[in-house]
Amino acid sequence: STPDAKAPTDTSKSKDLITVGFSQVGAESDWRTANTESMKSTFSEANGYELIFDDAQQKQENQIAAIRNFIQQEVDYIVLAPVTETGWDTVLQEAKDAGIPVIIVDRMVNVSDDSLYTAWVGSNFELEGKKAAAWLDAYLKAAGKDKDEVNIVDIQGTIGASAQIGRTKGLEDAVKQHSSWKLLAKTTGEFTQAKGQEVMESLLKQYGDKIDVVYCENDNEAFGAIDAIEAAGYKVGVDGDMIVMSFDSTNAGLSDTLNGKITLNTECNPLHGPRVEEIIKDLQSGKTVDKQKYVEEGIFSFENSVPSIKIDGVDYPVTQVTKDLAA
C-alpha cells in the first residue's frame, strides 16, 4: 500500500464551515479593493466560513460562469456583486432551482422576479447623485455664480452598473432643472484611473478650460482626470480653472479632497462584509431578512460654504474634510 493510504482524512473542519461563493466584479478601483478586503476578512475560516472568491475582471460572462461553478460545488450561499443590472434571470433561476440562497451586494440586479435573490444590501446610488447635484447648486449660489453658465462633463462609471445609472441620473435630472447648467459631454471612464485619464485628455482637447465642473463617478476616475488636467497645464480646485467632483470617499479620495484637488466627494461605503454576514447569520437562524437595505453615507467637501443640503425634505450634513478623516 502507499505510505499515506491509511492517513486519516479530517473532513470535520470543512463540514462545520459555511461555504460562501462570492462573485466579485473585479479590481477596478480602490473602493473595490476595500470591498474585497472587507469580504475576505469577514468570511474567514476563523469566523467559520470557507470563502470561494472569484474576480470576474469586470465581465458579466465571468460572473455567470462563477455562479454556475458555485452551484456545482453546492455552496451554502452565493454572494453576487453584479457588474451591471441586467442579464441575471437565467443564472439566478439556476441557483434558485438548486436551492442556494443568493445575496446581492453593492450594485443591484434588475430581474423579472425578485424571488430570484434572497436579499440585497448596498448604496442608494441615485441619492448619491442627487446629493452631489444639490451640493453643486448650493455651492454655486454661495459663490454668487448661480446665474453664470456652468459647463459640466460627466465621466461615467461602467455603463449599465447601478452606480453609473444612479449617479448619472442625479446629475442629468439637476441639469434639466438648471437652465444655466450645460452637460457638454458624458462618456464612460469605466470606474478606472487609466480610462478616467484617457477620457479627460480627449475632453480637454475638445473643450479646454471651457469646462467648469468635472463630475467623476468614482475616485479613481477623478485621480486620472486630475492627472490629465494638470498635465494639460490647468489647475483644479475652487481657485483653479475647473472643479472636480467625485464619489466613493476612499482614503486616497479624501486625501485629494483635503488638498483641494477634489472639491466634493460623496461617500459610497465599501465595507459590506459584516453586512452580508449579518444576513447569512439571520438566515442560518431562520429569521426573516430585509429584502433590500440601503447603507447610510456622508458627503465630504474641501470647503465649508455649504454646511448641509436638503433632498426631498431630508437634511444631509456636508462635512469639511480634516486631516483625521483623510488619514
Return residues touching ligand AHR (CB under 6 A).
28-29, 31-32, 106-107, 163, 191, 218, 247-248, 268
**How many Å apart are CA 226 and CA 216, to the nearest integer?**
10
Q: Which residues lie closer than 8 Å to 202 by C-beta, 6 or more apart?
A: none
Please name the residue that has the C-alpha cell 459584516: 274
Contact 19/78 with Cβ under 8 angstroms?
A: no
Q: Which residues lie closer than 8 Å to 76 by C-beta, 6 or more apart?
A: 18, 19, 20, 100
Least Å distance, CB 237 to ligand AHR, is 22
Give the side-chain half-sphere CA count within 13 A for 254.
20
**How many Å apart are CA 84 and CA 145, to the nearest integer?**
37
Nearer Cβ to ligand AHR, position 150 or 196? 196
Least Å distance, CB 89 to ligand AHR, is 21
Nearer Cβ to ligand AHR, position 32 or 261? 32
Nearer Cβ to ligand AHR, position 151 or 257? 257
Least Å distance, CB 204 to ligand AHR, is 23
Least Å distance, CB 32 to ligand AHR, is 5
C-alpha separations of 306 from 126, 143, 180, 200 in Å: 20, 10, 20, 27
Q: Which three cell numbers stand for residue 188?
A: 464612460
Least Å distance, CB 117 to ligand AHR, is 17
**How many Å apart are CA 155 and CA 246, to the nearest integer?**
10
Nearer Cβ to ligand AHR, position 31 or 70? 31
Nearer Cβ to ligand AHR, position 132 or 268? 268
Least Å distance, CB 272 to ligand AHR, is 10
Contact 220/140 with Cβ under 8 angstroms?
A: no
Nearer Cβ to ligand AHR, position 107 or 131? 107
